[in-house]
Amino acid sequence: MTIRISARRRTLAVAASGAALALSLTACADTGDGDGGTGDGGDDAAGFEIDCAPYEEFGDLDGTTVTVYTTIVDPEGATQQASYDPFEACTGVTIEYEASREMEAQLPVRVQAGNPPDIAILPQPGLLNTLVTQYDAVLPAPPQVEANVDEGWHESWKGYGTVDGTFYAAPLGSNVKSFVWYSPAAFEEGGYEVPETWDDLLALTQQIVDDTGGEIKPWCAGVESGDATGWPATDWIEDVVLRTAGVDVYDQWYKHEIPFNDPQIVEAFDAAGEILKNPDYVNGGLGGVDSIATTPWTDAGYPILDGNCYLHRAANFYQTQWPEGTTVAEDGDVFAFYLPAETTDEKPTLVAGEFIGAFNDRPEVQAFQTYLSSADWANAKAAATPNGGWVSANYGLDPELLATDFDKASAAVLADPATVARFDGSDLMPSEVGAGTFWAGMTEWFARDLSSQEVADQIENSWP
Amino acid sequence: MDWFIDAGDDPAHKFLLMLVAIALFVVVMGLILFLVDRPRNAPRWLVSLGFVGPALAMLAFGLLYPGLDTIKNSFYNRNGSEFIGLDNYATAFTESQFLIVLGNTALWVLVAPITATFLGLVYAVVVDKSRFEKFAKALVFLPMAISMVGASIIWKFVYEFKPAQGTVQQTGLLNQVIVWFGGEPIQFLLQRPLNNFLLMVVLIWIQTGFAMTLLSASIRAIPDDIVEAARLDGLSGFGMFWRITIPSIRPALVVVLTTIAMTTLKSFDIVRTMTAGRFNTSIVANEFYEQSFRQNNTGLGAALAVLLFVIVIPVIVYNVRQMRLAEEVR
């Protein structure tokens, strides 16, 4: 059989097959810059002046480009980009900003595909660890960055950016997680005082239950967060481990020098459970104990606003989660106090932060890395964040530049010599645990009312 | 050269680039086919190669190579640096976490396609030749136009839970109905194993329209003389449905069932959007993403993907066979 089609049809067929091919190919083409955008806000940073001298040693960088890949989407993305303006003005480097919520899953894919960004803002050290040990992809920090970090940060922060003795990633911002949000007005109305010790906190909880005749559950919590569901509960446990078992045990625990199901850790689970799994104490305005598993963490504090809940433990960045029009101040709608420890002498504090990983050592990349690790950047970022919700543990940060009283309070906690800061343990554990079974285990702890021992055993068994 | 690589933020530039790319491929493909056809009495293999070659090359590059690579990865450890034999498969078949995943997948494949096909069939028969046929069909067909993620979000709202506490109002449709009847609101997505079926409802809601459309068309295609003859022989109602309609549309039924079964095996979006696999609702399609991209365990992720592939193969084979049979009948 021979192929006999008319000339006209042949041309058409040729054109059609070509077009189909082309379409399938262009569909795969990278569309570029995600949802970064050049949002408004943060104009203040344009006027922020920095010393350009540190970047001269990198040579003439005018006209070069550095790509940044991050999870920080708008609205915070806008202030993040605005904080780069002084550097761009100094050096003439263009920063291409790409933000995606899927960055944590996509970055390893891009690294493997040989298409990494120049700089990635890593939301947790666990990802740095994975990138270094599994893919050998991150470049060690240049000496200028190391000098900046030695000067501006506590050595523990440098440690979180270090893998196997090599320093890779400078810290960027810092979060303070040991806060309890409350409504100052509701406290005043009930005659309640901000508790100073863990026992005070439990007493206050019981008092609220008694005063309202059990109608109101004092605490509200929620751990739903898409495929990261469970992480807010790991923070709870870490905070309680710091308080009941102490800092030393905490260090041994996340390094797995003691098993995950060590009796002291199970005790901490139970201590947290005294609040979180007590049907009289939770879940204010959100349901029973099991509703903690299904409530989005972003909404979990809202019942405070309509009086269905009194206490919500969440990090300083929860400040930006409150609905628009909520005043965050000591005499406003909501404010937060430090989650108390067993005594007033100690101030263990759970912190976390982002880190800067570099995949390229072109001079403009190293210059930008140096800028991001400097106190200048921290101050530029503070100036570019007019609505607050951002702090840094950098010593060079001028607290006066921070936008809100609450941010200043957070910075004060970070700077307080009595504060013993410990990094979020789940971020430091191997990702199978820290971003896997620990999250899942906590979710089951609420959803199926598994015992603390069962959950701890399960997580211990999954440790690689 | 930069102009061709980086379009920047300019949409006009991007579109122009796209058109250039399309034009380029039309030209290249046209050239290949033209050259192949050029010589008088070109050998047949050359002509075939010209037509099939580009497609085959792209299949090999875009499908075959990644497929083989995935199979290879499934025998390696989490970052592909060490050969570990069948360990990943052993993990998938022995650890309780993955056994639940496999069990759920089996449940999905059994329940969702059959329910969707059954509902679609009944609906097609019931509305056939009724007065509101078009409108009724459109109603069921509409969900087909909604993406899986969109549908999942809609249904998540339906199942939404708010407690009967203080001043809290219900926002979920189902729980509001329960409250109207004086019941206590229920945490639907936490009720295992019920939650698995609640997730399947989303898929069934989408796929029923598909089943209904195809089956309705093939019911229409049953020759009138067969129906007439059956009627003369005294068949009507259920007898007609069971002895005439079903046997006549059997090939279409099988194609619909297997097509939905394949969609079911791939319905990653629903699980990820609604529960992210928590509360014992994960299925293989979700778990292999979770392992590959969340836990960075490429080996185990690849093993699960291969498993999914192996499960799909018999369904595809059966599907293709039945389609061929159906064509031969025609």
Q: And the tokens for A60?
A: 């003439």
Q: Are residues B62 and B96 in the same domain?
A: no
Strand (E) or helix (H) holding A351: strand A347-358
Q: At what angle do helices B298-329 and B250-265 cross, to 10 degrees?
A: 170
Measured between beta carbons, the chain B residues lying within 8 angstroms of A15 are: 26, 30
B22 in A contact zone (CB under 8 Å):
yes
Q: Please give the pLDDT value at position A50.
A: 82
Q: At what angle do helices B250-265 and B96-127 cross, to 10 degrees?
A: 140
- Which residues are within 8 A (CB) of A75 and not within 5 positions of it... i.e. 6 or more apart? A39, A41, A320
Query: Is residue B91 in some structural domain?
Result: yes
Give the whole-angstrom CA distance, residue B297 versus residue A25. 29
Number of domains, chain B: 2
pLDDT digit string (tens) for A174-198? 889 999 999 999 999 888 999 999 9
Give the whole-angstrom CA distance, residue A291 versus residue A98. 35
Rounded CA Rg of chain A: 25
Mean pLDDT value across chain A: 83
Whether the predicted pLDDT of A285 surpasses 50: yes
Q: pLDDT-based confidence at B329, cuts 50/70/90?
A: low
Q: Is the ipTM of this complex over 0.95?
A: no
Asked if the domains A43-176+352-417 and A179-338+430-462 are classified in one and the same CATH topology, the answer is yes
pLDDT digit string (tens) for A309-327? 999 999 888 888 888 888 8
Tell me the mean pLDDT in the region A45-67. 81
Q: Are residues B24 and B48 in the same domain?
A: yes
Cis peptide bond prior to A86, omega within 30° of 0: no
Q: And the tokens for A376?
A: 């200048």
List the CATH number of the domain containing B235. Answer: 1.10.3720.10
Query: With contact defined as beta carbons under 8 Å apart, do A458 and A441 qualify?
Result: yes
Q: Please give the pLDDT value at position A253.
A: 92
Q: Please give the pLDDT value at position A259.
A: 92
- Determine, for residues B21 and A287 on separate chains, whether the beta-carbon distance falls below 8 Å: no
Q: Are residues B192 and B218 in the same domain?
A: yes
Q: Are residues B147 and B11 in the same domain?
A: no
Give the whole-angstrom CA distance, residue A290 versus residue A407. 33
∠ CA B66-B67-B73, rounded to 5°: 85
Q: Please give the pLDDT value at position A30.
A: 39
Residue of B nearest to A226 (CA): B276
Query: With contact defined as beta carbons under 8 Å apart, do A340 and A205 qualify?
Result: no
A296: β partners = A224
Residue to substitute from A1, A12, A14, A224, interface B, most B β-carbons within 10 A: A14
Tell me the mean pLDDT in the region B246-271. 88
- Determine, for residues B277 and A285 on separate chains, whether the beta-carbon distance falls below 8 Å: no
Residue to substitute from A209, A291, A306, A426, interface B, most B β-carbons within 10 A: A291
Q: Are residues B178 and B147 in the same domain?
A: yes
Q: Please give the pLDDT value at position A47.
A: 60
> Which amino acid type is present at position B297?
N
Q: pLDDT-based confidence at B319, cuts 50/70/90?
A: confident
Distances (CA, A) of B324 to B216, B247, B258, B320, B328: 20, 17, 14, 6, 6
Q: Are residues B53 and B95 in the same domain?
A: no
Measured between beta carbons, the chain B residues lying within 8 angstroms of A108 are: 293, 296
pLDDT digit string (tens) for A422-435? 899 988 888 778 88
Query: With contact defined as beta carbons under 8 Å apart, do A237 and A442 qualify?
Result: yes
Tell me the mean pLDDT in the region A207-229. 87
Tell me the mean pLDDT in the region B287-305. 86
Backbone angles phi, psi at B170, to 5 degrees: -70, 145
Q: Are residues B267 and B188 in the same domain?
A: yes
Query: With contact defined as beta carbons under 8 Å apart, do A90 and A52 qualify?
Result: yes
> Which amino acid type is present at position B49?
L
- Determine, for residues B25 and A294 on separate chains, whether the beta-carbon distance falls below 8 Å: no
Query: Which residue in A26, A294, A440 is closest to B161 by CB distance?
Result: A294
Tell me which residue of A464, A462, A460 sits closest to A263, measured CA to CA.
Answer: A460
Sign for the CA dihedral angle at B1, B2, B7, B10 comes to: negative
Q: Are residues B40 and B129 in the same domain?
A: no
Whether the predicted pLDDT of B166 surpasses 60: yes
Q: pLDDT-based confidence at A204, cuts 50/70/90?
A: very high
Q: Where are the domains of chain A?
A: 43-176+352-417, 179-338+430-462
Q: Euclidean distance between the first and final Cα of chain B, in Å?
A: 54
Pairing between β-strand A335-338 and β-strand A162-163 as defined by DSSP bridges: unpaired
Q: Are residues B203 and B173 in the same domain?
A: yes
Whether the predicted pLDDT of A6 surpasses 60: no
Query: Is residue B68 in some structural domain?
Result: yes
Distance, C-alpha A70 to centroid of its chain: 12
CATH of range A43-176+352-417; options 1.10.486.10, 3.90.1010.10, 3.10.520.10, 3.40.190.10: 3.40.190.10
Give the whole-angstrom CA distance, residue A23 versus residue A21. 5
A414 versus A32: the higher-pLDDT residue is A414
Query: Which residue in A18, A229, A436 is closest to B28 by CB distance?
Result: A18
Whether the predicted pLDDT of A15 surpasses 90: no
Residue of B nearest to A106 (CA): B293
Sign for the CA dihedral angle at A245, A251, A253, A257 comes to: negative
Tell me the mean pLDDT in the region B32-58. 82
Q: Please give the pLDDT value at position B8.
A: 66
The CATH number given to A179-338+430-462 is 3.40.190.10
Q: Are residues B247 and B125 in the same domain?
A: yes
Tell me the mean pLDDT in the region A62-79. 86
- Distance from A218 to chain B by nearest Cα, in Å? 12
Q: pLDDT-based confidence at B1, cuts 50/70/90?
A: low
Please provide the DSSP assignment of B84-153 as one string.
-TTHHHHHHHHSHHHHHHHHHHHHHHHHHHHHHHHHHHHHHHHHTT-TTHHHHHHHHHGGGGS-HHHHHH
Distance, C-alpha A66 to centroid of its chain: 23
Measured between beta carbons, the chain A residues lying within 8 angstroms of B9 are: 32-33
Query: Is residue B80 in some structural domain?
Result: no
From B50, B73, B96, the end of a domain falls on B73
Tell me the mean pLDDT in the region A289-307. 88
Q: Please give the pLDDT value at position B255.
A: 86
Give the whole-angstrom CA distance, residue A45 versus residue A383. 6
Chain B from 83 to 102: CB within 8 A of any A CB? none
- Determine, for residues B190 and A290 on separate chains, whether the beta-carbon distance falls below 8 Å: yes
Q: Are residues B37 and B174 in the same domain?
A: no
From B51, B73, B95, the end of a domain falls on B73
- Determine, for residues B190 and A226 on separate chains, whether the beta-carbon distance falls below 8 Å: no
Whether the predicted pLDDT of B211 surpasses 50: yes
Residue B35: how many CB atoms within 10 A of its CB? 12
- Distance from A231 to chain B by nearest Cα, in Å? 13
Whether the predicted pLDDT of B65 surpasses 90: yes
Q: Please give the pLDDT value at position A239.
A: 92
Query: With contact defined as beta carbons under 8 Å apart, do B275 and B281 qualify?
Result: yes
Measured between beta carbons, the chain A residues lying within 8 angstroms of B163 are: 283, 285-288, 291
pLDDT digit string (tens) for A225-250? 877 888 899 999 999 999 999 889 99
Residue to substitute from B295, B297, B298, B300, interface A, most A β-carbons within 10 A: B295
Q: pLDDT-based confidence at B132, cuts 50/70/90?
A: confident
Q: pLDDT-based confidence at B316, cuts 50/70/90?
A: confident
Give the whole-angstrom CA distance, residue B253 versus residue B183. 40
- Distance from B216 to chain A by nearest Cα, in Å? 32
Whether the predicted pLDDT of A1 surpasses 50: no
Measured between beta carbons, the chain A residues lying within 8 angstroms of B165 are: 217, 284-287, 308
Domain ranges, residue B22: 2-73
Sign for the CA dihedral angle at A329, A330, A335, A341 comes to: positive
Whether the predicted pLDDT of A16 surpasses 70: no
Tell me the mean pLDDT in the region B309-325. 84
Strand (E) or helix (H) holding A312: strand A312-313
Q: And the tokens for A256?
A: 């797995």
Q: Please give the pLDDT value at position A356.
A: 92
- Distance from A415 to chain B by nearest Cα, in Å? 34
Q: What is the pTM of this model?
A: 0.77
Collapsing DSSP states into helix, strand and coil, what is residue A403? coil
Pairing between β-strand A65-70 and β-strand A119-122 as defined by DSSP bridges: parallel
Tell me which residue of A436, A444, A386 sits closest to A79, measured CA to CA.
Answer: A386
Q: Are residues B60 and B96 in the same domain?
A: no
Tell me the mean pLDDT in the region A435-440. 86
Of the listed ranges A104-108, B165-169, B201-205, B281-285, the one predicted with least confidence: B165-169
- Determine, for residues B168 and A10 on separate chains, whether the beta-carbon distance falls below 8 Å: no
Collapsing DSSP states into helix, strand and coil, what is residue A406? helix
Tell me the mean pLDDT in the region B104-126. 91
Whether the predicted pLDDT of B180 surpasses 80: yes
